[in-house]
Protein backbone atom coordinates (compact mmCIF):
# COMPACT_ATOMS: atom_id res chain seq x y z
CA UNK A 1 0.00 0.00 0.00
CA UNK A 2 2.99 2.28 0.61
CA UNK A 3 5.72 2.75 -1.99
CA UNK A 4 9.46 2.45 -1.21
CA UNK A 5 9.80 6.24 -0.90
CA UNK A 6 7.07 6.32 1.76
CA UNK A 7 4.31 7.81 -0.40
CA UNK A 8 0.90 6.15 -0.40
CA UNK A 9 0.34 4.36 -3.68
CA UNK A 10 -2.64 5.74 -5.61
CA UNK A 11 -5.20 3.12 -6.62
CA UNK A 12 -5.03 2.20 -10.28
CA UNK A 13 -8.34 4.06 -10.78
CA UNK A 14 -7.05 7.29 -9.23
CA UNK A 15 -3.83 6.98 -11.24
CA UNK A 16 -5.65 6.50 -14.53
CA UNK A 17 -8.15 9.31 -13.82
CA UNK A 18 -5.23 11.66 -13.13
CA UNK A 19 -3.66 10.56 -16.42
CA UNK A 20 -6.94 11.27 -18.24
CA UNK A 21 -7.20 14.78 -16.77
CA UNK A 22 -3.53 15.56 -17.41
CA UNK A 23 -3.68 14.46 -21.07
CA UNK A 24 -7.22 15.67 -21.80
CA UNK A 25 -8.21 12.09 -22.68
CA UNK A 26 -11.63 10.47 -22.49
CA UNK A 27 -11.65 8.57 -19.20
CA UNK A 28 -12.88 5.03 -19.84
CA UNK A 29 -10.72 3.92 -16.91
CA UNK A 30 -12.44 4.66 -13.60
CA UNK A 31 -15.99 3.34 -13.47
CA UNK A 32 -18.32 6.18 -12.59
CA UNK A 33 -21.30 7.53 -14.54
CA UNK A 34 -21.08 10.92 -16.27
CA UNK A 35 -24.82 11.45 -15.73
CA UNK A 36 -26.45 11.84 -12.31
CA UNK A 37 -28.75 9.36 -10.65
CA UNK A 38 -32.54 9.90 -10.38
CA UNK A 39 -33.54 13.50 -9.63
CA UNK A 40 -36.24 12.46 -7.14
CA UNK A 41 -33.62 10.62 -5.08
CA UNK A 42 -31.30 13.65 -5.11
CA UNK A 43 -34.28 15.73 -3.97
CA UNK A 44 -34.87 13.26 -1.13
CA UNK A 45 -31.30 13.89 0.08
CA UNK A 46 -31.87 17.65 0.01
CA UNK A 47 -35.16 17.17 1.88
CA UNK A 48 -33.39 15.03 4.50
CA UNK A 49 -30.83 17.81 5.11
CA UNK A 50 -33.63 20.40 5.37
CA UNK A 51 -35.50 18.10 7.75
CA UNK A 52 -32.50 18.20 10.08
CA UNK A 53 -31.08 14.68 9.66
CA UNK A 54 -27.61 16.13 10.08
CA UNK A 55 -26.19 14.55 13.24
CA UNK A 56 -24.70 11.07 13.71
CA UNK A 57 -27.15 8.45 12.47
CA UNK A 58 -27.57 5.24 14.54
CA UNK A 59 -24.52 2.93 14.52
CA UNK A 60 -26.13 0.19 12.43
CA UNK A 61 -27.73 2.70 10.06
CA UNK A 62 -30.98 4.64 9.78
CA UNK A 63 -33.89 2.25 10.57
CA UNK A 64 -35.74 3.18 7.36
CA UNK A 65 -32.72 2.08 5.31
CA UNK A 66 -32.24 -1.16 7.26
CA UNK A 67 -35.91 -1.96 6.62
CA UNK A 68 -35.66 -0.97 2.95
CA UNK A 69 -32.63 -3.25 2.43
CA UNK A 70 -34.40 -6.17 4.12
CA UNK A 71 -37.54 -5.56 2.02
CA UNK A 72 -35.46 -5.32 -1.16
CA UNK A 73 -33.69 -8.64 -0.47
CA UNK A 74 -37.03 -10.36 0.13
CA UNK A 75 -38.83 -8.80 -2.84
CA UNK A 76 -36.05 -9.43 -5.34
CA UNK A 77 -34.58 -12.71 -4.09
CA UNK A 78 -36.84 -14.19 -1.40
CA UNK A 79 -34.11 -13.67 1.25
CA UNK A 80 -35.71 -12.93 4.62
CA UNK A 81 -33.75 -10.74 7.04
CA UNK A 82 -34.45 -9.18 10.42
CA UNK A 83 -33.60 -5.51 9.77
CA UNK A 84 -32.65 -4.93 13.40
CA UNK A 85 -29.96 -7.63 13.59
CA UNK A 86 -29.16 -8.82 10.06
CA UNK A 87 -28.45 -5.61 8.15
CA UNK A 88 -25.66 -3.04 8.62
CA UNK A 89 -25.16 0.21 6.73
CA UNK A 90 -21.54 0.97 5.77
CA UNK A 91 -19.55 3.74 4.08
CA UNK A 92 -19.98 2.21 0.64
CA UNK A 93 -19.44 -1.42 -0.22
CA UNK A 94 -15.72 -0.77 0.26
CA UNK A 95 -16.05 -0.38 4.01
CA UNK A 96 -18.43 -3.33 4.27
CA UNK A 97 -15.92 -5.56 2.47
CA UNK A 98 -12.94 -4.32 4.47
CA UNK A 99 -14.77 -4.61 7.80
CA UNK A 100 -15.92 -8.14 6.90
CA UNK A 101 -12.39 -9.28 6.06
CA UNK A 102 -10.92 -7.58 9.15
CA UNK A 103 -13.63 -9.07 11.37
CA UNK A 104 -13.42 -12.63 10.09
CA UNK A 105 -9.87 -13.31 8.90
CA UNK A 106 -7.02 -13.59 11.41
CA UNK A 107 -3.34 -13.09 10.55
CA UNK A 108 -2.14 -16.10 8.56
CA UNK A 109 -5.63 -17.23 7.52
CA UNK A 110 -6.18 -17.72 3.82
CA UNK A 111 -8.73 -15.62 1.97
CA UNK A 112 -9.67 -16.83 -1.49
CA UNK A 113 -10.88 -14.43 -4.18
CA UNK A 114 -11.82 -14.79 -7.79
CA UNK A 115 -8.98 -13.47 -9.92
CA UNK A 116 -8.88 -10.85 -11.41
CA UNK A 117 -10.13 -9.24 -8.17
CA UNK A 118 -11.38 -5.73 -7.42
CA UNK A 119 -8.44 -3.82 -5.97
CA UNK A 120 -9.83 -3.23 -2.48
CA UNK A 121 -9.92 -6.99 -1.70
CA UNK A 122 -6.16 -7.62 -1.71
CA UNK A 123 -5.71 -4.39 0.28
CA UNK A 124 -8.22 -5.50 2.94
CA UNK A 125 -6.64 -8.96 3.07
CA UNK A 126 -3.20 -7.38 3.54
CA UNK A 127 -4.52 -5.09 6.30
CA UNK A 128 -5.89 -8.16 8.09
CA UNK A 129 -2.49 -9.86 7.83
CA UNK A 130 -4.17 -12.70 5.96
CA UNK A 131 -2.88 -14.58 2.91
CA UNK A 132 -4.48 -13.94 -0.47
CA UNK A 133 -5.13 -16.90 -2.77
CA UNK A 134 -6.83 -16.59 -6.11
CA UNK A 135 -9.03 -18.75 -8.35
CA UNK A 136 -8.77 -17.62 -11.97
CA UNK A 137 -11.57 -16.75 -14.30
CA UNK A 138 -10.82 -18.21 -17.69
CA UNK A 139 -11.68 -16.54 -21.00
CA UNK A 140 -14.00 -18.79 -23.03
CA UNK A 141 -16.01 -18.08 -26.19
CA UNK A 142 -19.09 -17.75 -23.95
CA UNK A 143 -17.46 -15.26 -21.56
CA UNK A 144 -15.19 -15.53 -18.53
CA UNK A 145 -15.88 -18.67 -16.44
CA UNK A 146 -14.59 -19.76 -13.05
CA UNK A 147 -11.94 -22.49 -13.11
CA UNK A 148 -13.74 -25.08 -10.99
CA UNK A 149 -10.72 -27.40 -10.69
CA UNK A 150 -8.62 -24.51 -9.39
CA UNK A 151 -11.42 -23.65 -6.96
CA UNK A 152 -11.43 -27.17 -5.51
CA UNK A 153 -7.63 -27.16 -5.31
CA UNK A 154 -7.37 -23.72 -3.69
CA UNK A 155 -10.02 -23.83 -0.97
CA UNK A 156 -8.74 -25.98 1.88
CA UNK A 157 -8.32 -26.31 5.63
CA UNK A 158 -6.54 -22.95 5.97
CA UNK A 159 -9.23 -21.04 4.06
CA UNK A 160 -11.20 -18.72 6.30
CA UNK A 161 -13.15 -16.72 3.75
CA UNK A 162 -14.11 -16.78 0.10
CA UNK A 163 -14.68 -13.32 -1.36
CA UNK A 164 -17.00 -13.63 -4.33
CA UNK A 165 -18.00 -10.92 -6.80
CA UNK A 166 -20.90 -11.29 -9.18
CA UNK A 167 -21.61 -9.56 -11.53
CA UNK A 168 -17.84 -9.37 -11.73
CA UNK A 169 -15.57 -6.36 -12.02
CA UNK A 170 -13.52 -6.22 -14.28
CA UNK A 171 -14.68 -9.07 -16.58
CA UNK A 172 -18.44 -8.48 -16.57
CA UNK A 173 -19.00 -12.21 -15.91
CA UNK A 174 -22.20 -13.13 -14.08
CA UNK A 175 -21.62 -16.36 -12.17
CA UNK A 176 -24.11 -19.05 -13.13
CA UNK A 177 -25.72 -21.66 -10.89
CA UNK A 178 -23.11 -24.32 -11.67
CA UNK A 179 -20.32 -21.99 -10.57
CA UNK A 180 -22.19 -20.86 -7.46
CA UNK A 181 -23.01 -24.45 -6.52
CA UNK A 182 -19.32 -25.33 -6.80
CA UNK A 183 -18.45 -22.45 -4.46
CA UNK A 184 -21.21 -23.52 -2.06
CA UNK A 185 -19.88 -27.10 -2.09
CA UNK A 186 -16.32 -26.12 -1.08
CA UNK A 187 -17.65 -23.61 1.45
CA UNK A 188 -19.61 -26.39 3.15
CA UNK A 189 -16.81 -28.89 2.88
CA UNK A 190 -14.27 -26.61 4.58
CA UNK A 191 -16.70 -24.66 6.79
CA UNK A 192 -15.87 -21.36 5.14
CA UNK A 193 -17.79 -18.07 5.23
CA UNK A 194 -18.55 -16.47 1.86
CA UNK A 195 -18.46 -12.68 1.50
CA UNK A 196 -20.19 -11.80 -1.74
CA UNK A 197 -19.83 -8.40 -3.42
CA UNK A 198 -23.02 -7.81 -5.39
CA UNK A 199 -22.76 -4.07 -6.08
CA UNK A 200 -23.65 -4.68 -9.75
CA UNK A 201 -26.65 -6.88 -8.84
CA UNK A 202 -29.07 -4.87 -11.02
CA UNK A 203 -26.74 -4.32 -13.98
CA UNK A 204 -27.14 -7.47 -16.09
CA UNK A 205 -28.01 -7.66 -19.79
CA UNK A 206 -29.76 -9.90 -22.34
CA UNK A 207 -32.01 -11.39 -19.66
CA UNK A 208 -29.07 -12.88 -17.74
CA UNK A 209 -30.17 -13.41 -14.15
CA UNK A 210 -28.08 -12.41 -11.13
CA UNK A 211 -28.24 -15.20 -8.55
CA UNK A 212 -27.19 -14.26 -4.99
CA UNK A 213 -25.24 -17.15 -3.49
CA UNK A 214 -27.19 -16.62 -0.23
CA UNK A 215 -30.22 -18.13 -2.02
CA UNK A 216 -28.52 -21.52 -2.51
CA UNK A 217 -29.47 -24.30 -0.05
CA UNK A 218 -27.63 -23.97 3.25
CA UNK A 219 -25.78 -20.81 2.19
CA UNK A 220 -27.81 -18.10 3.96
CA UNK A 221 -26.23 -19.09 7.28
CA UNK A 222 -22.66 -18.72 6.01
CA UNK A 223 -22.93 -15.77 3.60
CA UNK A 224 -22.42 -12.04 4.07
CA UNK A 225 -23.87 -10.12 1.13
CA UNK A 226 -22.48 -6.67 0.34
CA UNK A 227 -24.09 -4.11 -1.93
CA UNK A 228 -24.25 -0.37 -2.39
CA UNK A 229 -26.24 2.53 -3.80
CA UNK A 230 -23.28 3.71 -5.89
CA UNK A 231 -23.88 1.48 -8.91
CA UNK A 232 -27.61 0.85 -8.59
CA UNK A 233 -28.50 4.54 -8.30
CA UNK A 234 -25.54 6.16 -10.12
CA UNK A 235 -24.55 8.11 -7.01
CA UNK A 236 -21.03 6.76 -6.52
CA UNK A 237 -20.03 9.79 -4.42
CA UNK A 238 -22.66 9.16 -1.75
CA UNK A 239 -20.88 6.07 -0.42
CA UNK A 240 -23.88 4.32 1.10
CA UNK A 241 -23.42 0.55 1.23
CA UNK A 242 -24.81 -2.31 3.27
CA UNK A 243 -23.96 -5.77 4.54
CA UNK A 244 -26.55 -8.43 5.32
CA UNK A 245 -26.50 -12.01 6.55
CA UNK A 246 -26.67 -14.06 9.75
CA UNK A 247 -26.88 -11.89 12.89
CA UNK A 248 -23.64 -13.17 14.46
CA UNK A 249 -21.61 -12.40 11.33
CA UNK A 250 -23.23 -9.00 10.84
CA UNK A 251 -22.49 -8.15 14.50
CA UNK A 252 -18.83 -9.07 13.95
CA UNK A 253 -18.65 -6.73 10.96
CA UNK A 254 -20.37 -4.01 12.96
CA UNK A 255 -17.81 -4.33 15.75
CA UNK A 256 -15.04 -3.46 13.28
CA UNK A 257 -17.06 -0.91 11.33
CA UNK A 258 -17.70 1.21 14.42
CA UNK A 259 -13.96 1.89 14.71
CA UNK A 260 -13.37 2.47 11.01
CA UNK A 261 -15.95 5.20 10.34
CA UNK A 262 -18.45 4.76 13.20
CA UNK A 263 -21.24 6.08 10.93
CA UNK A 264 -21.56 8.13 7.75
CA UNK A 265 -23.82 9.86 5.26
CA UNK A 266 -26.92 10.48 7.44
CA UNK A 267 -29.00 12.44 4.90
CA UNK A 268 -27.94 10.14 2.06
CA UNK A 269 -29.08 7.12 4.07
CA UNK A 270 -32.58 8.63 4.22
CA UNK A 271 -32.58 9.29 0.48
CA UNK A 272 -31.37 5.79 -0.41
CA UNK A 273 -34.00 4.34 1.94
CA UNK A 274 -36.72 6.20 0.04
CA UNK A 275 -35.29 5.06 -3.31
CA UNK A 276 -35.05 1.38 -2.30
CA UNK A 277 -38.50 1.41 -0.73
CA UNK A 278 -39.80 2.64 -4.09
CA UNK A 279 -38.24 -0.35 -5.87
CA UNK A 280 -41.60 -1.17 -7.48
CA UNK A 281 -42.21 2.35 -8.71
CA UNK A 282 -40.05 5.22 -9.96
CA UNK A 283 -36.78 3.59 -8.91
CA UNK A 284 -37.55 0.39 -10.85
CA UNK A 285 -38.56 2.39 -13.94
CA UNK A 286 -35.36 4.44 -13.72
CA UNK A 287 -33.25 1.29 -13.29
CA UNK A 288 -34.93 -0.48 -16.23
CA UNK A 289 -34.10 2.49 -18.42
CA UNK A 290 -30.51 2.58 -17.17
CA UNK A 291 -30.01 -1.12 -17.92
CA UNK A 292 -31.55 -0.77 -21.41
CA UNK A 293 -29.32 2.15 -22.26
CA UNK A 294 -26.24 0.49 -20.74
CA UNK A 295 -26.72 -2.61 -22.85
CA UNK A 296 -26.92 -0.39 -25.96
CA UNK A 297 -23.76 1.47 -24.87
CA UNK A 298 -22.05 -1.86 -24.20
CA UNK A 299 -22.76 -2.94 -27.78
CA UNK A 300 -21.49 0.36 -29.14
CA UNK A 301 -18.19 0.15 -27.24
CA UNK A 302 -17.67 -3.57 -27.95
CA UNK A 303 -18.20 -3.01 -31.69
CA UNK A 304 -15.82 -0.04 -31.63
CA UNK A 305 -13.12 -2.00 -29.79
CA UNK A 306 -13.44 -4.90 -32.26
CA UNK A 307 -13.19 -2.46 -35.17
CA UNK A 308 -10.07 -0.98 -33.56
CA UNK A 309 -8.48 -4.44 -33.58
CA UNK A 310 -9.11 -5.73 -30.04
CA UNK A 311 -10.72 -9.08 -29.23
CA UNK A 312 -13.61 -8.40 -26.90
CA UNK A 313 -15.32 -10.68 -24.39
CA UNK A 314 -18.87 -9.33 -24.29
CA UNK A 315 -19.87 -8.76 -20.64
CA UNK A 316 -23.19 -10.11 -19.31
CA UNK A 317 -23.20 -7.56 -16.49
CA UNK A 318 -21.51 -4.51 -14.83
CA UNK A 319 -20.39 -1.54 -16.89
CA UNK A 320 -16.99 -2.84 -17.91
CA UNK A 321 -15.59 -4.74 -20.87
CA UNK A 322 -12.25 -6.52 -21.06
CA UNK A 323 -10.50 -6.17 -24.42
CA UNK A 324 -7.53 -8.31 -25.44
CA UNK A 325 -4.93 -6.24 -27.29
CA UNK A 326 -2.82 -9.15 -28.58
CA UNK A 327 -4.27 -8.88 -32.13
CA UNK A 328 -2.78 -5.34 -32.15
CA UNK A 329 0.65 -6.80 -31.43
CA UNK A 330 0.51 -5.72 -27.77
CA UNK A 331 1.98 -7.96 -25.06
CA UNK A 332 1.84 -5.66 -22.06
CA UNK A 333 -1.48 -3.99 -21.13
CA UNK A 334 0.26 -1.61 -18.72
CA UNK A 335 2.41 -0.35 -21.54
CA UNK A 336 -0.61 0.03 -23.78
CA UNK A 337 -2.48 2.00 -21.07
CA UNK A 338 0.44 4.43 -20.83
CA UNK A 339 0.27 4.91 -24.62
CA UNK A 340 -3.54 5.10 -24.97
CA UNK A 341 -3.59 8.86 -24.16
CA UNK A 342 -1.68 9.36 -27.43
CA UNK A 343 -5.02 8.65 -29.15
CA UNK A 344 -6.94 10.46 -26.39
CA UNK A 345 -8.42 7.59 -24.36
CA UNK A 346 -7.68 6.07 -20.95
CA UNK A 347 -8.32 2.47 -19.82
CA UNK A 348 -7.15 0.28 -16.94
CA UNK A 349 -4.75 -2.66 -17.36
CA UNK A 350 -6.43 -5.86 -16.15
CA UNK A 351 -3.15 -7.04 -14.63
CA UNK A 352 -3.74 -4.39 -11.93
CA UNK A 353 -6.50 -6.71 -10.66
CA UNK A 354 -4.21 -9.75 -10.45
CA UNK A 355 -1.49 -10.91 -8.06
CA UNK A 356 1.92 -10.58 -9.68
CA UNK A 357 2.95 -13.88 -11.24
CA UNK A 358 -0.51 -15.42 -10.97
CA UNK A 359 -2.07 -17.40 -13.80
CA UNK A 360 -4.70 -14.69 -14.30
CA UNK A 361 -1.96 -12.03 -14.52
CA UNK A 362 -0.30 -14.10 -17.19
CA UNK A 363 -3.46 -14.87 -19.17
CA UNK A 364 -4.65 -11.27 -19.02
CA UNK A 365 -1.30 -9.51 -19.40
CA UNK A 366 -2.37 -7.87 -22.67
CA UNK A 367 -5.93 -7.05 -21.62
CA UNK A 368 -7.41 -3.64 -20.84
CA UNK A 369 -10.66 -2.79 -19.05
CA UNK A 370 -12.84 -0.05 -20.51
CA UNK A 371 -16.03 1.29 -18.96
CA UNK A 372 -19.17 2.05 -20.94
CA UNK A 373 -20.99 4.02 -18.25
CA UNK A 374 -20.40 7.21 -20.24
CA UNK A 375 -22.78 9.18 -22.47
CA UNK A 376 -23.30 7.77 -25.95
CA UNK A 377 -21.67 10.79 -27.64
CA UNK A 378 -18.61 10.36 -25.41
CA UNK A 379 -18.38 6.67 -26.31
CA UNK A 380 -18.71 7.44 -30.03
CA UNK A 381 -15.91 9.97 -29.73
CA UNK A 382 -13.76 7.41 -27.83
CA UNK A 383 -14.41 4.71 -30.42
CA UNK A 384 -13.37 7.11 -33.19
CA UNK A 385 -10.13 7.85 -31.35
CA UNK A 386 -9.41 4.17 -30.68
CA UNK A 387 -9.59 3.51 -34.42
CA UNK A 388 -6.30 5.45 -34.56
CA UNK A 389 -4.50 2.57 -32.82
CA UNK A 390 -4.28 0.49 -35.98
Using CB under 6 A, which of 118, 310, 319, 372 touches ligand PMP? 118
Site string (119-158) toward ligand PMP, x via CB under 6 A = ----------------------------------------
Which helix (DSSP H) or strand (DSSP E) does residue 225 occupy? strand 223-228
Q: Is residue 302 within 8 Å of residue 314, measured between CB atoms?
A: yes
Measured in degrees and rounded to the nearest 5, phi and psi for residue 358 equal -75, 165
Report what 92 binds from ligand GLN, ligand PMP, none; CB cut-off 5-8 Å by kind.
ligand PMP
* Distance of closest approach, residue 363 Cβ to ligand GLN, in angstroms: 20
Q: Which does 228 bind (CB under 5 to 8 A by kind): ligand PMP, ligand GLN, none?
A: ligand PMP
> Using an 8 Å Cβ cutoff, are 389 and 309 in contact?
yes
234 binds, among ligand PMP, ligand GLN, none (CB under 5 to 8 A by kind): none
* Ramachandran bin of 371, using left for φ above 0, alpha for ψ from -120 to 50, beta for the remaining angles: beta
Residue closer to ligand PMP by CB (options 25, 169) is 169
Least separation, in Å, of the C-beta of 223 and ligand GLN? Answer: 22
Q: Which helix (H) or strand (E) holds 74?
A: helix 63-77
Which residues of the chain form contacts with ligand GLN (CB under 6 A)?
11, 13, 30-31, 169
- Supply the minimum distance, in Å, between the C-beta of residue 371 and ligand GLN: 6
Whether the Cβ atoms of residue 61 and residue 68 lie closer than 8 Å to each other: no
* Distance between CA atoms of residues 382 and 387, nearest Å: 9
Q: Taking CB within 5 to 8 Å according to partner kind, which of ligand GLN, ligand PMP, none is near residue 13? A: ligand GLN
Closest C-alpha among 287, 272, 285, 277 to residue 47: 272
73 contacts 96 by C-beta, under 8 angstroms: no
- Which residue lies nearer to ligand GLN by CB, 31 or 61? 31
Least distance in angstroms from the C-beta of 275 to ligand GLN: 20
The secondary structure element, H or E, covering residue 27 is strand 26-27
Kindly state the number of chain residues that form the binding site for ligand PMP, as judged by CB under 6 A: 14
Q: Are the C-beta atoms of 295 and 379 separated by less than 8 Å?
A: no
Q: Which does 93 bind (CB under 5 to 8 A by kind): ligand PMP, ligand GLN, none?
A: ligand PMP
Three-state SS at 153 = helix
Closest separation in Å from C-beta 307 to ligand PMP: 27
Query: According to the binding rule CB under 6 A, does residue 241 interact with ligand PMP?
Result: yes
Contacts of 5 (CB under 8 A, 6+ apart): none
- The residue from 86, 236, 351, 371 that contacts ligand PMP (CB under 6 A) is 236
The minimum distance between CB 348 and ligand PMP, in angstroms, equals 11
The beta strands (E) that lie in the chain are given as: 26-27, 87-91, 110-115, 131-140, 143-146, 159-165, 193-197, 223-228, 240-244, 311-313, 320-324, 345-346, 348-349, 367-371
Give CA torsion, residues 95, 98, 103, 109, to 10 deg. Answer: 170
Shortest Cβ 94–ligand PMP spacing (Å): 3
Shortest distance (Å) from residue 148 CB to ligand GLN: 26
Q: Which of residues 77-116 bind ligand PMP (CB under 6 A)?
A: 92-94
Nearest alpha carbon to residue 213 among 263, 146, 150, 261: 146
Task: Confirm or reject binding of residue 172 to ligand PMP (CB under 6 A).
Answer: no
Stretch that binds ligand PMP, among 130-138, 229-237, 277-285, 339-347 (CB under 6 A): 229-237
CB of 169 to ligand PMP, least distance (A): 4
What single DSSP character describes residue 351?
G
Q: Which does 196 bind (CB under 5 to 8 A by kind): ligand PMP, ligand GLN, none?
A: none
- Contact segment (CB under 6 A) with ligand PMP among 78-86, 208-216, 233-241, 246-254 equals 233-241
**Strands 345-346 and 26-27: what pairing?**
parallel
Q: Which residues of 261-271 are buried (b: 16+ CB within 10 A; e: fewer)?
A: eebbbbbbbbb
Contacting positions for ligand PMP (CB under 6 A): 92-94, 118, 165, 169, 197, 199, 228, 230-231, 236, 239, 241
Amino acid sequence: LVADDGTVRATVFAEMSTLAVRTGSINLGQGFPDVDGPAHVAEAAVAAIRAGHNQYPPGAGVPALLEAVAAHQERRYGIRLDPTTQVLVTAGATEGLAAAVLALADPGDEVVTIEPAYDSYPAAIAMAGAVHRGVPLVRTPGGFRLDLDALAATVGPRTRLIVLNTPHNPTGAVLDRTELEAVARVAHEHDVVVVTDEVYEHLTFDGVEHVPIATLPGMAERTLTVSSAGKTLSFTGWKIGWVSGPAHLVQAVRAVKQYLTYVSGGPFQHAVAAALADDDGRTRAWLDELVGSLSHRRDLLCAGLEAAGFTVTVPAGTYFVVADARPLGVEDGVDLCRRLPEVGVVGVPVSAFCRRGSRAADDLAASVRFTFVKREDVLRDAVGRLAGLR
